[in-house]
Structure 1
Amino acid sequence: MTLHAIILAAGKGTRMKSKKVKTIHDVAGIPVINKVINNLEELNISSMCIVVGFQSDDVLKTVTSTKVEFVTQKEQLGTGHAVIQTEENFKNKEGDIIILPGDAPLISAKTLNDFYLYHKKTDAHISVLSTSMPDPTGYGRIIRDKSDQVLKIVEQKDATEDERLVKEINTGIYCVSKSVLFQSLKSITTDNKQKEYYLTDIIQIAKNNGQSVYSYVANNYREFQGINSRKDLSDVSLYLYQLKNELLMNNGVTIIDPNTTYIEHNAIIDQDTIIYPGVYIKGHSIIGNNCVIGSNTYIENGIVPDNTVILPNQNIIA
């Protein structure tokens, strides 16, 4: 089984009110785009292609992985148009392609792997990763046919009143065989309110060609929160801090108050260390075994040996 990936990272992210493109903002100590790449690299990905556009040079400088190729979308004419730009990169490759947005760092490797296994099990031509959102406003809706296959995906701005009541949403993640993907993209148009080339239109095209389209419904809708605003950035960061704290506690670290403890992605903390409230551990900090980190302490790229006691209100910057 050969699996490739396309990451869509060409958008401006105007609602961020930032001079930086949204995919290079940090969440819990790691740029958004690098977190997406890290999650993909846990799968057996044969190749990875990132579509860049706005501030492409900054994205290229931010990406630390050496396993990716870059393609530029010079005009932002929609997600379908973005994927079309990658066709030359896949000219001599075969297999399936997973497509996902570059601003969704919470999607776990496990969810992506389960999705791919579902795609292979159903022998679908196209698989869509969906979830049920309590408030689906702003998301494309999954519309199913009588056999429970995906009939189409309707964007919020194009949806009827009845379609907007649907809770099952499109996460923007697809798995498609290479041949079906690029053949279907040849038929997409800009016949929609946004006058863009929607990637979602390949669903209807595939159905019209008698091809199967299935949807894998993921349980944890929190994984699919994208980043379109500063509030989204904060929400995603807090969720990642929560996951990091849970991971550390499961591995033998005591965190007195996880709600006020912020430990970044790359920090390493050994067993039997106790962390008091109000602590921020940043960068590539390494905290040894059986340490005590007092309240309201800030550690940046610090190395703390085993059995060290750090009193409250300290700043340690290496």
Structure 2
Amino acid sequence: MTGNNLAIIILAAGQGTRMRSRLPKVLHPIAGRPLVGHVLTTAGRLGAEHVEVVVRHERDQVVAALTADYPDAIFIDQDEVPGTGRAVQVAVDALPAEFDGDVLVLSGDCPLADADTLRSFLDAHRDADAEATLMTAVVDDPTGYGRVIRDADGGVDRIVEQKDASADEASVREINAGMYVFRIGTLRRYLPSVGVDNAQGEMYLTDVPGLLRRDGSRVAASVVSDVTVTFGVNDRAQLSEVGRLLNRRIVRRWQLAGVTIIDPTTTWIDDDATLAPDVTVLPNTHILRATTIAEGAIIGPDTTLVDCEVGADAIVRRTDATLAVIGAEATVGPFSFLRPGTVLGARGKIGAYVETKNAEIGEGSKVPHLSYVGDATIGRGVNLGASTITANYDDVNKHRTVVEDEVHTGSHTTLVAPVRLGAGAKTGAGAVVRKDVPAGSLAMSVAPQRNIEGWVEKNRAGTGAADAAARSRVAE
């Protein structure tokens, strides 16, 4: 049951002290999104009429981090009254009075509850015709979780939080997963009756099922088969574990879609990345944020791509690239560094130990090795010799270099921007080009070579070089 008959409340008001972080817990990222961002993304897939996020700790930082990516979310401020019950109460009060559907309550630190699981959960709630339905799981170690206490007939009787549990209650292995569905009327009726008479002095949402049972109303429980969907994050160790589980899901999804991933354990793919069939990903590769990779491309090993676009049949090896475009059948690496604004044309090459930045490199052009190309426009069929650099910074401003089609530079050429090399031009080895070079011209920096006889023996007496020079002179 999804759509206009549903409101979703996401609890994101907690401080998360066990994270020991200046960053609010729900903003800690995994798979390219903050924890609460994954919950919001899943909520969007359910098509709810209303999505509310309850905030309190560092509320301005949380709202600022989420507003751009989740413009339809409504942020609700929790007041000084602590507890999940109060958080849901202020969110319910903010819903339109005419709303009469069901309310799905999710935790902002539980990113593994996927849309299919939540659809099944909602369906179970409707099929049971219950006032409230709890998501539960059976675990080997229930420490830290609220226990689900059932009555003699197997129905849900109440939920007992860890700090309020007796020894017998604490031994129960069925836990409350912290996700609920309520009829909106149930919440409006019972939340005002929830008090703070407990070890934590908080207004527990989990008291509502007990109140319902007291009045003879039906409370259902839906036990999930995959306990990992209930996993939340309270500290850095759990953040790492949940991140690993989510990455494993993402990797498997792409494998089933036709992507070859040689070593899933060392491959990390963010949730927003897109890979086409017949892409091959080699070990120790990170494909991050909104990176897209076209069919037949080979990525890795030891490669990180952040917000990049890779064309069909391209090869990218041992490369670090951010906000770069790599054309079809192009080759990059090894040991290349592509900074933002790099655009490599089809069948182009960026080779070993090359750094590029804000550079357009045309179709079939090559920057094979040991070069820096920044703030430059490189035409088609260009070959930049080893150790060619664009000197783009004059200590005050950045300037652009333009290299037209079919230019070939000699090794160790320095192009001092702003400068233009015309089509078909060439440079000699070691040239320092400070002026425009006309099309078809050869630019050279020529100075007579001067040999100073005896310099080493005079100025470096006693060194191995001086001794070797002396021996050579005697041999002559």
Task: Tell me the TM-score normalised to structure 1 length.
Answer: 0.97
Contact 2:46 2:115 in 1 (8 A): yes
Larger Rg: 2
- SS for the counterpart of 1:143 is strand
Within 5 Å, which residues of 2 pair with 1:185-200?
A: 185-200=191-206
AA aligned opposite 2:141: D
Q: Deviations over 1:209-259 (max 9, x none)?
A: 121111010111111110100011111111111111101110111000000
CA distance in 1, matches of 2:76, 2:322: 38
- The Cα shift of 1:43 comes to 1.4
Unaligned runs of 5+ in 1: none
Q: Residue 137 of structure 1 aligns with which residue?
A: 143
Q: Which has the higher helix share?
A: 1
After TM superposition, the structure 1 = structure 2 runs for residues 87-236 of structure 1, keeping only pairs within 5 Å, are 87-90=92-95, 91-236=97-242
- The 2-side partners of 1:41 and 1:266 are apart by 15
C-alpha displacement of 1:66: 2.0
- Residues 1:239 and 2:245 aligned together: yes
Residue identity (%): 35
Candidates 295, 299, 306, aligned match of 2:301:
295
Residue deviations 1:255-293 (CA, integer Å, cap 9, x gap): 000000111111111111111100111111111110111
Deviation at 1:192, TM superposition (A): 0.7
Give me the whole-angstrom Cα distance separating, in 1, the residues matched to 2:202 and 2:90. 15
CA contact (8 A) 1:28 1:265 kept: yes
Letter in 2 for 1:303: E
Question: For each residue in 1:283-308, what CA deviation from the matched residue of structure 2 results, as whole angstroms up to 9, or x when unmatched?
Answer: 11111110111211111111111011
3-state secondary structure, aligned to 2:121: helix
SS in 1 for 2:8: strand
Distance 2:131 2:87 in 1: 20
Match of 1:11 in 2: 14
- Residue 68 of structure 1 and its aligned partner are, at CA, apart by 1.6
TM-score by length of 2: 0.65
Corresponding residue of 1:266:
272
Structure 2 Cα separation of the partners of residues 159 and 310 of structure 1 = 56
- In the alignment, what sits opposite 1:30? 33
User: CA separation of 1:252/1:33 partners in 2, compared to 1, >3 Å: closer, same or farther?
Assistant: same
Runs (4+) of structure 1 exceeding 2 A deviation are none
Secondary structure of residue in 1 paired with 2:149: strand
CA contact (8 A) 1:6 1:51 kept: yes
Inter-partner Cα distance in structure 1 for 2:92 and 2:44 = 22
Q: Which structure is higher in RCO with an 8 Å CA cutoff and minimum separation 6?
A: 1
Q: Would you say the 8 A contact 1:53–1:76 is kept in 2?
A: no
Structure 2 Cα separation of the partners of residues 59 and 84 of structure 1: 20
User: Distance between the aligned counterparts of 2:81 and 2:273, measured in 1?
Assistant: 37
1:310 Cα deviation from its structure 2 partner: 1.6
**Secondary structure of the residue that 1:179 maps to in structure 2?**
helix
One-letter amino acid of the counterpart of residue 6, structure 2: L
Return the offset for 1:76: 5.2
What's the Cα RMSD here? Answer: 1.1
Shift of 1:162: 1.0
Cα deviation 1:12-71 (Å, max 9, x = unaligned) = 000001001111111111111110011122213111111100011111122221222111
Cα distance in 1 for residues equivalent to 2:264 and 2:163: 40
Q: State whether residues 148 and 172 of structure 2, in contact with CA within 8 Å, keep that contact through their aligned partners in structure 1.
A: yes
> CA separation of 1:44/1:157 partners in 2, compared to 1, >3 Å: closer, same or farther?
same
Asked whether the 8 Å contact 2:92–2:187 carries over to 1, the reply is no
The verdict on how the C-alpha distance between 1:215 and 1:259 changes in structure 2, with shifts beyond 3 A counting, is same
Cα distance in 2 for residues equivalent to 1:154 and 1:88: 26
Q: Does 1:277 align with 2:283?
A: yes
List gaps (5 residues or longer) in structure 2.
324-476
How far apart are the structure 2 equivalents of 1:302 and 1:44? 30
Among 52, 73, 78, the residue aligned to 2:78: 73
Q: Distance in 2 between matches of 1:98 and 1:5?
A: 5
Q: Which position in structure 1 is the counterpart of 2:87?
A: 82
Distance 1:266 1:210 in 2: 46
SS of structure 1 residue aligned to 2:193: coil
**Residues 103-146 of structure 1, C-alpha deviations (whole Å, 9 max, x = no match):** 10000111111111111111001111101112110000000011
Q: 1:58 to 1:76 in 2, by over 3 A?
A: farther
Distance in 2, matches of 1:238 and 1:76, equals: 35
Measure how far apart 1:198 and its partner are. Answer: 0.6
**Aligned partner of 2:47 among 44, 47, 53:** 44
For the residue of structure 2 that corresponds to 1:85, the secondary structure is: helix
Number of corresponding residues: 317
Q: Structure 2 CA distance, aligned partners of 1:168 and 1:121?
A: 22
Whichever residue aligns with residue 70 of structure 1, its letter is: F
Q: Aligned partners of 1:178, 1:113: CA distance in 2, in Å? A: 18
SS of 1:186's equivalent?
Answer: helix
**Aligned residues of 1:10 and 1:76 also touching (Cα < 8 A):** no
Match of 2:62 in 1: 59
Q: CA distance change for structure 1 residues 109 and 179 in 2, over 3 Å: closer, same or farther?
A: same
After superposing the two structures, state which structure 1 stretch, 54-63 or 11-20, moved more: 54-63
